Each structure stands twice: as structure tokens, then as C-alpha cells.
Structure 1
């Protein structure tokens, strides 16, 4: 690279329930890069007005494209990371072609790509995917003979946002905290019919006696919940995750929780099952695990400590930023 300090632009959604836009920027800063975060959402009154008036998508809004173009041009980055996109709309490709010419442009997917995306152009130099189920759709989108590189890159956690918490005292129940979709609520009912101790938090939980449990949950509150129960239940969202590890898989152990996760194909890439994370196939196997954990603090502590050690050693946003910077350097950008 021509500069001693790499310059990185992160394009993503601010003000999201997910914090990986902010956390990835922090990771790049910790990795020694100069970082500029640019929101793809309409920020000003002019941007919001034209988007509403024309019914445009985020990266088709000419005012948003103009703003981002000016900031990229002034910053002159070596690397541009576009979050959760496999490509860009034609309008963005055209508007940014000159200012992106001297940078490597990569995408990093946070959701599974079930089919080649519509309304996007395959214009990235590299696409990182968190779920190996994305590969077929990416190959179809870019063409199997394309020069673009597809590489697995798991999601991560910011330890500053999910620090080790708690005093070692845990409720003798498992906890789920997140969006309570119909699919997930059906599994909750199966768990309760089994007589398993379960507490549920998050939008859609339907706890009319404790309505505060249905609100959006801050990272600080999530950390206390994860570390304050014998284990954290992780249920995949159909369509979003198929074979990969979602953000919760890293957040729970980071703050001292024990992760419970389905047996997805990519899990061995991130954790050692049975030691760093506990894997259940159905409600019956989940019942066996809960029976093992309740009343057995040594087992809970051992898994929690091993999971946290693995996360801090390999799965922080600093690790992901270092990987992207190393890949960019190898390309000679």
C-alpha cells in the first residue's frame, strides 16, 4: 500500500438493532487503520424526502449516492467494505465508479444469500460470507468463472460491548433473547411442554404479565441475561441463517454465557462442540443438556470459560478487520 496507515471505508446501516456497523469500524481502528463509516440510509431531510417521494431503495437515492461519493473521494480509501451486500445497484456502480477505482471493494454478508440478488450488479473484488449456504447463489450471481473471490468469514463480537459480567450466580434456567418470530415461538412451546425452565425476552415474546420483556434489548442488558442463566438458547431465523453462526453465537460466550446452538455445518469452523459450545438437535436433546447443566455449576463454568477464551482468541471484530486488511495487502491495493 502507498500509505503506512491503511484507510478503510465501511458502508452500512447505522441506527440498526445490529451494531456490527459500529463494531467493525472499531475493529479496523484497533487493527491500526484509519476508518470512515458511511451510512447508506437517508440522513438529511433532502435525502429522506426524495427517497419517500420516489419510492427508492437506499442505494438508488441520488442524494445519498452524491453524499457518499463526495466523502469517499475526500477520504481516498484503500479498502471499501460494504456490509450485507453481494453487489451494488447500477446507480451506485455508475455514481461511484471513479472514486472506487483505486480501492479494493469487498462485501461481507451477515444474512444467508438464498438466491442471486435482484437489482444488484456483481461489482465487488471479493465477497466474504458468514454462511456456507451462500456459495451457490454467489457463484450464480458472479458466474462460476468470474475472478471475484468468495471466502468464508464468520461474524464476530466487540468485547467492549459484551464484557464479562455477573458475579457467578446464575438462574437455573435457559434464556432466549431476541426477535420472537412465529417459528421461534413454536419451539418455545415445545420446550415448555417438556417442562424445561425457559425465560424469553425480545419483541414478540408475548409476555403480557411482564411487557417490558418485549422491548428491544440493549447490549448491556443482553450481556447480563446471557451471563445470568445456565445457558443461552440460540434459534436460527429461517432464511437468514442456514449453515452458519449468527452474532449471538459469539456475543453470549464473550460475556460469560454458555451457548446452545443447532448442529449447523459451519459450527466446527468456529467452536469445539461439547467444550466451547453445546449443540442440540431437537427438544429432546436440549432437555438432556439442560438436565446436565442445572445444578452442575462446574460444567457451566467450564463451557463458559472455554467459549469465552475461543472468542477472545479468534472471533472479535479486530480479528476480522486484520483478516480483511491482510487480504487487501496481498492483492497489492
Structure 2
């Protein structure tokens, strides 16, 4: 089987996704892989397709592909696969790309239901996976911080951290771009440490391993920079969930409807739905290290069994749609 993988064209974490996908595709027996990166080179794309003769052409997002390329993909005999990995936050963009692909996967089940309501019957739910070679366990001893949060300072995250600084005595590590501008003008507490920049996933893994509890909240569906005019409410967990679990780190995750599809509550993961519940569970699990470690270990086992990039790509290659 020949698979042509097209770069998303985006930087930072998407370059990491590209690398993970290419590495895993090459591990499948009987699969030959080519990688196309020059998205604006339509003639170059035609040439590589005519020479390589792919059985599957596969990409993430697809919104940077020129219309000539999209139209040509639609008319070919190979199986074209699109993986929408920013749903539901950019559904306004995604909806324009759907008609050009044979099979579409979305990371969010709410977005899948929306697309199906518009008569796109070829759309299926497929969360992102993780790379357990990058997100590896660390030393259980010597945790530096009580709580760690890695991500962008959305308003709900800022409010939550301000609440934790006010109501708890815990040491908090914050990692991500824009926090100094958005958050640290409001917070002068010595209990919080900041790395004010985007970090590579391998660096994020270090922070996950260095915290007793990783706080995992989700981007709001109605955040002002989204392109989600239909107001699709996200129902699925983020890829950070699998990354944290793969590190064998304990996480408190904001509850999402799809969480029980992937992890068993209180056995492999712990969630919260209110601020009061979060504070109560922080107090409890910071005082119960053995239980924390047991849940985290079970979470990593589940990831290795079901939630790596290899598992996701196996489903794409084999054409298993559900």
C-alpha cells in the first residue's frame, strides 16, 4: 500500500504531528510512504501522485491546500482522507474542505454530528493520539510543583487559576505563550511560576512529569477568536489528555461528555465539573500520593493499549470507520 501524506502547512505542534504520523506510518508492514510539503506547488503535487501512485492521500486540516489541488484530489481514484484536528473551534473553515475528501475524521463528536446534520455522511469521530516515545514516565520522586497547567490563557483558565491562588496554598507552574500579558498583571502571588512561551511537546512532557497534578481544561467552544459560527459545543477530550496519561502523570481533567469512552473514571483518570469539586479533589489527591500514582499508572496502560498515533493510523489505513 502506498500512502502520500500531505503536510498541514502549520508550524509548532503541527510539525510535531507531521513527524509522529510519518514515523508511525513507516512502521506498518507493506506500507510505502511519501511526504508532500510544498502545498502551493500544484504541478509538483500532480507529479508525485502520478509517479508514486498512492492508494491513500491523507492530510490534517486541509485548509491551506489551493483549490486546484482540492479539485484534483476529488477527481482521483485514490482514497482521500482528511483529519480535522481543530474541531469544533474552526468549523467555519472545515465545512469548506469536507466536499473534497472521500473520508473525513474529526476529533470532536459534536462536530461530527453537526456535519452529519448537513448530510455529510462520510464523517467519523477519531481523536488525536499520543507518542509514548516522547510522552514517557519520569521519576516518581522529587516533584517540583503541586499543580501544572500547560496551554493558552483563555479567560476561563485565568479565572480558575486566580481562584486556586486565592483559595489554596499550592505551588502552581504555568507554561504557555501570552500568560505574562493576560494573567500576571493580575496575579502577584509567589505560589505561581511562569514559563511565558510555547514549548515543544517534549518540553511539555517534562512539566507533566514534574508536577504532582496536571490540570487539564478545554478551550471554550465560544471563545472570541474561534471560527465556530454554528456554536457547536465541544464534547470530546483534547489530545493533551492522552499526552499527560502517557507520561504516567496524574491529571484532573475538566469533564467532557466523551471522557468515559476513553478512560474509566477514578480508575484511570479523575475529572471535575465545578470549581468546588476541583478544589476538593486537589486537596484529596495531593494528600493521597499512592492513589494518585495508581490512577496515573492505569491511565498510561490504557494509552499504550488504545490511544497512540499508531492506533489511530491503523484505523485510517484499514478503513475502519467506526
Q: What TM-score comes out, normalization by structure 1 length? A: 0.80
Change (3 A) 1:305 1:71: same
Following superposition, the deviation at residue 40 of structure 1 comes to: 5.9
Contact 1:163 1:254 (C-alpha < 8 Å) held by counterparts? yes
Tell me if the contact between 1:155 and 1:245 (Cα under 8 Å) persists in the aligned partners.
Answer: no
Of residues 5, 18, 23, the one that matches 1:10 is 5
TM-score when normalising by structure 2: 0.82
User: Which residue, 286, 308, 321 being the options, matches 2:313?
Assistant: 321
2:28 aligned partner: 31
Distance in 1 between residues matched to 2:24 and 2:43, nearest whole Å = 27
Query: Partner of 1:293 in structure 2?
Result: 285
Determine whether 1:166 maps to 2:163: no
Which residue in the other structure is 2:129 paired with?
Answer: 156
Equivalence for 2:229? none
| Distance (whole Å) between structure 2 residues aligned to residue 292 and residue 231 of structure 1 | 11
Cα contact 1:245–1:266 (8 A) shared by 2: yes
> Pick from 85, 94, 100: which aligns with 1:110?
85
Per-residue deviation at 1:251? 0.6
Residue of structure 2 aligned with 1:22, choices 19, 22, 31: 19
Q: CA–CA distance in 2 between the matches of 1:211 and 1:191? A: 14
| CA-CA distance at 1:81 after TM superposition | 1.5
Question: Map of 1:70-149 to 2, 5 A cutoff?
Answer: 70-85=47-62, 90-97=67-74, 101-113=76-88, 115=91, 117=93, 119-120=96-97, 122-140=99-117, 143-144=118-119, 148-149=121-122
Alpha-carbon contact 2:176-2:198 (below 8 Å) kept: yes
Structure 2 unmatched runs, 5+? 227-232
Structure 1: where are the runs of 5+ without partners?
1-5, 42-62
Match of 2:220 in 1: 238
Counterpart Cα distance in 2 of 1:217 and 1:24: 20
2:295 is aligned to 303
Q: Name the residue aligned to 2:199.
A: 217
What's the counterpart of residue 205 of structure 1? 179
Q: How much is the aligned-residue C-alpha RMSD, in angstroms? A: 2.7
Aligned to 2:230: none
Which region of structure 1 is more displaced relative to structure 2, 106-115 or 264-273? 106-115
Deviation at 1:120, TM superposition (A): 3.6
How far residue 137 of structure 1 moved from its aligned partner, in angstroms, is: 3.0
In 2: Cα distance, 1:199 partner to 1:123 partner: 43
Q: Secondary structure at the match of 2:13?
A: coil
- How far the C-alpha of 1:311 sits from its partner, in A, is 0.4
- CA spacing shift, 1:211–1:255, aligned 2, 3 Å: closer
Q: Indicate the residue corresponding to 1:250 in structure 2.
A: 242
Aligned length in residues = 297
Distance 1:113 1:177, change over 3 A: closer
CA contact (8 A) 2:74 2:101 kept: no
Q: Is the 8 A contact 1:233 1:259 kept in 2?
A: yes
- Quick one: structure 1 residues 7 and 285, their matched pair in 2 at CA, closer, same or farther if it must change by over 3 Å? same
Candidates 30, 39, 42, aligned match of 1:65: 42
